[in-house]
Amino acid sequence: MAPAPAPLSRSTVRLVWTSLACACTIAACAQTGPAVPGTIAPVAQAEASDDQGELLPVRYDPTTGDVFLTVRQLGEEYLYLNTLAAGLGTGGLDRGQLGPSAAVRFERYGNRVHLISRNTDHRAIDGDDAARRAVEESFPSSVLAAFEIAEDGPDGLVVDATEFFLSDMYDVAASLQRGGAGAVRVDPARSFIDPEYTGAYPINTEVRAVLTYVTDSPSADLRSHAPDGRSVTLQQQHSFLQLPESPLSARQFDPRTGNSQSSFFDFSQPFDSDFRQRNVARWRLEPMDTAAYLRGELVEPVKPIVYYLDRGIPEPYRSAFLEGGNWWNEVFEAAGWRDAFRVELMPEGVDPMDARYPAIYWVHRQERAASVGPSYRDPRTGEILTTVVRMDSYRSLVDHDIYMGLVPAAGVDGLSMSAEEFAMARRRQHAAHEIGHTLGLAHNFVAASQGRASVMDYPYPLIGLDEEGGIDISQTYRTSGGAHDTLGIRYAYTWYPDAQSESAGLKEIAREAEARGLAFITGGHVNQSGSYPEATQWIEGATMLEALERTRDVRRRLIDHFDESAASPGEPLAILNRRFSHAYLHHRYALEGVIKAIGGMRFGYAVAGEATDPTEIVSAPEQRAALSMVLGALQPDELRIPPRVAAMIPPVPFGYDGDLAPIVSPAGTAFDPIATAHSLAQEIVDNLLHPQRAERLVAFHAQDPTYPGLDEVLGALLDASWFATDSGEADPQDPALRRVTRRAVLDALLDLGRSPDATSEVRAVTEYHLEQL
């Protein structure tokens, strides 16, 4: 086990301050070196300790609150990082949220030292000096700061960096203004450097700035999150990190393997290539024994990847995050590594903002927002240098609501796991997912349909019915990494002795993915308008038809058995609104996947010379089966909410807010089951009649008339709604439920007929069917 770097210890820093205060007093009486005219007294001798082992020595003057950097080597590049050390408690301005990063260097011009950010997005890698200069002069650089020189001494240039560190490098003010605040500015009088979290180390220098943002027109968020919304104090961490002396060799990106990319423009590429070059984002792993590695033995790396868990994370989350995070160690074995990755508790006394410690943070918010797994990379190569995983505490409240909605339908023996076990099963996979991003893996939103092939999908708990018809939650989430995770890690982290073997090996891994049918779909291709049925978030099942059938059966049991036991003793019964919403919409995402089969097309991220079939239109029988299931979801039996459920849900009580009631009722204090059904019906029909889906139906039917066309789909939709008979209704609510479905269909047809995104062919077919009404 590699030793942890020396922590940013509070006691050590306090000792430095004491020495600094005494030394500053002496320096004020007797300067030992010439001062630059017009600057403050030099502070290079403020601390007697040897600072030769520090990256950029930093000194704090406790009498003035100023902070000084010693620049030993002009022109040397560092990685500058800016991170929110203390946030607003809302998504977008979290504790630990990553801000700007840049490759920077210090250059002297006259009596100032400028901090210059090089433009690493535009380069000429293989060009000569003239070619590189042409690129450099075609695109701008950025001067981030101009520091006054306090002393020009034998140890380097001592510069006053106070103004820079107290500036809003994160641009929080702009974020607050986008959130509805009026003009926002940093108040220098109420801002300061916090010396307790400021220090220099062999590979990094850290400075903590406490900034107070003032506005005369605070937004609702500011008023609700800060003691005084007119004066909001946040903290920014400025880090200078040593860049690797020997840059990591770039590894070519392949769109099929699920790896994240780091891209830039290389204008030295020939005309028949792509100026935009894409490399895999990855950590550096090098084998201790290269010969054993090449023999196929598992080998320890020279430096393993170690993440540190925030000590502010309590149990049972702490154990869940440690367990889920350490799943990755086994995944790395597939790439030939032993003990290449681990998560351990942050050492005592360490500042989690210290860039030497890839950290997993505990983040609190007042409302639901995403956990995130970002990283800071070497902009030259894409090498991951450090990371800040942000795990939110709010997520488990949602998991608990899902669990409590299952309780009434559990069966005679109850649920097979406790509420805590259920929530922690999710958080183990959740931790693995966010860490996966920081290892260089992208979302894979088709993995759930491939035997849960990746933790990088968005999983919904796999819930079924047992043999007695009760709720089965025995297989809710994954308990390890999956096959596609292994593939992505192998692609990024397999070590090769030379470029030729690397090129051949990477091609073989990508071909293996296709041969094994390990699909990868991500990004915007999973939107509701998408065409790939299985590329749908929050689903479980090999096919969407199977997933909808299972979730529909579970949903029926949840609705039929829903009662007050979904609320814990002492909770306001209004929370049943929130718990019931999960039950009523249990099939929602499976429905979305089934709708994608209509006018659907599966595809892969094919590359020339390697691909099999890049696209495949969903078969006509599957499309018609999907249409039948979607139309079934619009029938009264599927939309109906039992009156007893509506009767048991009171309005939000005094002292609570609307968070208890995500199903908003137009009937005010009364829960309205008809309006709730209308919202669901409208969502289904709007999704079905998305302009892109409608155009695919037109295009595919024109290519092959055996595929259902838009005319057939609209005809079937009208037959199932407007032209369906009202006779023999099974429930008194059914006539009203048919009316809300008809209204949803009419509104969706009207929207499609006048949508600027609909083609003339789509509008023509839509207008024809509107005329039938």
The per-residue pLDDT for range 155-209, each reduced to its tens digit, is 999 999 999 999 999 999 999 999 999 999 999 999 999 999 999 999 999 999 9
User: What are the extents of the domains in the chain?
Assistant: 10-242, 250-448+465-515
Longest dimension (CA), the chain: 102
The three-state (H, E, C) secondary structure of 584-616, written as one string: HCCCHHHHHHHHHHCCCEEECCCCCCCCCCCEE
pTM: 0.91
Contact indicator for 209, 236 with CB cutoff of 8 Å: yes
Mean pLDDT of 339-357: 94
Q: From the centroid of its chain, how far is CA 277?
A: 24
Contact indicator for 720, 636 with CB cutoff of 8 Å: no
Contact indicator for 394, 368 with CB cutoff of 8 Å: yes
pLDDT in tens, 310-347: 999 999 999 999 999 999 999 999 999 999 999 999 99
β-pairing, 384-392 vs 359-363, is parallel
The per-residue pLDDT for 727 is 63
| Beta strand extents in 339-383 (DSSP E only) | 341-345, 359-363, 375-377
Residue (of 166, 167, 179, 169) closest to 89 by Cα position: 179
Q: From the centroid of its chain, how far is CA 512?
A: 28
The per-residue pLDDT for 32 is 32
pLDDT in tens, 59-97: 999 999 999 999 999 999 999 999 999 999 998 899 999
The per-residue pLDDT for 581 is 98
What pLDDT band is residue 21 in, cutting at 50, 70 and 90? very low
Percent of the chain with pLDDT over 90: 87
Least confident of 45-49, 598-602, 606-610: 45-49
Percent of the chain with pLDDT over 70: 93
Name which residue leads in pLDDT, 710 or 608. Answer: 710
DSSP-assigned letters across all residues of 15-82: HHHHHHHHHHHHHHH--SSPBPTTSPPP-TTS--S--TT-SS-EEEETTTTEEEEEE-STT-EEEEEE
Mean pLDDT of 532-551: 96
What pLDDT band is residue 30 in, cutting at 50, 70 and 90? very low
Contact indicator for 514, 258 with CB cutoff of 8 Å: no
Residue 34 CB burial class (10 angstroms; 0-12, 13-18, ≥19): exposed
* Spatial CB neighbours of 122, under 8 Å, sequence gap ≥ 6: 135, 138, 139, 264, 265, 267
Give the pair of three-digit tokens for residue 62.
Answer: 């406790």
- Distance (Å, rounded) from C-alpha 335 to C-alpha 486? 8
Give the pair of three-digit tokens for residue 603.
Answer: 């595809």
Contact indicator for 91, 105 with CB cutoff of 8 Å: no
Q: Is the pLDDT of residue 107 over 90?
A: yes
Neighbours of 189 (CB within 10 A): 7
The per-residue pLDDT for 658 is 79
Q: Is the pLDDT of residue 612 over 80?
A: no
The per-residue pLDDT for 729 is 66
Q: Is the pLDDT of residue 20 over 60?
A: no
pLDDT in tens, 516-529: 989 999 999 999 99
The per-residue pLDDT for 112 is 97
The per-residue pLDDT for 659 is 85
* Spatial CB neighbours of 422, under 8 Å, sequence gap ≥ 6: 399, 400, 402, 403, 415, 461, 473, 476
pLDDT in tens, 126-154: 989 999 999 999 999 999 999 999 999 89
The per-residue pLDDT for 725 is 81
What pLDDT band is residue 4 in, cutting at 50, 70 and 90? very low
What residue type is 523 in one-letter code? Answer: G
β-pairing, 192-200 vs 156-160, is unpaired
- Distance (Å, rounded) from C-alpha 279 to C-alpha 254? 9
Residue with tokens 């942000």: 390
Neighbours of 541 (CB within 10 A): 19
The per-residue pLDDT for 11 is 34
Residue 40 CB burial class (10 angstroms; 0-12, 13-18, ≥19): middle
Q: In degrees, to the nearest 5, what angle opens at C-alpha 710 toward C-alphas 708 and 715?
A: 90
Contact indicator for 449, 457 with CB cutoff of 8 Å: no
The H or E element containing residue 261 is strand 261-266
Neighbours of 38 (CB within 10 A): 7
The per-residue pLDDT for 204 is 96
The three-state (H, E, C) secondary structure of 713-737, written as one string: HHHHHHHHCCCCCCCCCCCCCHHHH
Please provide the distance, in angstroms rounded to a whole number, between the alpha carbons at the two ends of the chain: 74
Give the pair of three-digit tokens for residue 155.
Answer: 């140890």
Q: Is the pLDDT of residue 1 over 50?
A: no
Contact indicator for 250, 125 with CB cutoff of 8 Å: no
* Spatial CB neighbours of 457, under 8 Å, sequence gap ≥ 6: 443, 444, 445, 446, 447, 448, 537
pLDDT in tens, 646-673: 999 999 999 998 788 899 999 999 999 9
Neighbours of 203 (CB within 10 A): 15
Give the pair of three-digit tokens for residue 353.
Answer: 């903002």
The per-residue pLDDT for 2 is 42
Q: Is the pLDDT of residue 24 over 80?
A: no
Contact indicator for 301, 337 with CB cutoff of 8 Å: yes
The per-residue pLDDT for 728 is 65
Q: Is the pLDDT of residue 35 over 70?
A: no
Neighbours of 748 (CB within 10 A): 21
